């Protein structure tokens, strides 16, 4: 039997009968060597954060689920758009009221006032991302 030549350490796990052909691309190898891992992880964290927040609201404003959702959402946003853009987004002069309400709502959730915290956070979220909704409505009407 001819000797197997492995081009990468993962090749025996992918297909042990391959002798000299290149390794097929898989999500596992892309995860190890991918250039945009932080964006993919950030999207996953953002989706998980939104899911935890939705579950927290569905469970009658469970503070623990809402807090975990807030942390995951912010971590995901940070990984998707980067540190400088995140800071620039939240620190804009015209968005300071929305930023203060958003982070104030998160603080209220952490201080065990989940209903009031989520309402304040929702108001801040609308102030922060309201222009995105207006832009989307404008694109929809065209």
State how far Cα 29 lies from the chain centre: 22
The predicted structure's pLDDT at residue 10:
45
CA distances from 125 to 5, 10, 39, 71, 120 (A): 55, 44, 22, 15, 9
Q: What average pLDDT does the segment 38-63 reach?
A: 95
Give me the mean pLDDT over the 80-94 stretch.
Answer: 91
Does the pTM exceed 0.85?
Answer: no
């Amino acid at each position: 039997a001819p000797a197997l030549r492995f081009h990468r350490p993962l090749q025996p796990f992918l297909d042990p009968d391959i002798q000299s052909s290149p390794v097929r691309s898989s999500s596992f190898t892309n995860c190890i060597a991918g250039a945009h891992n932080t964006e993919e992880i950030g999207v996953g964290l953002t989706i998980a954060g939104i899911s935890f927040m939705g579950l927290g609201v569905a469970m009658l404003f469970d503070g623990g689920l809402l807090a975990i959702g807030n942390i995951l959402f912010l971590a995901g946003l940070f990984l998707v758009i980067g540190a400088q853009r995140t800071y620039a987004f939240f620190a804009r002069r015209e968005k300071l009221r929305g930023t203060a309400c958003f982070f104030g709502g998160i603080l209220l959730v952490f201080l065990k006032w989940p209903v009031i915290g989520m309402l304040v956070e929702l108001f801040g979220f609308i102030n922060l991302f309201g222009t995105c909704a207006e832009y989307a409505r404008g694109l929809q009407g065209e």
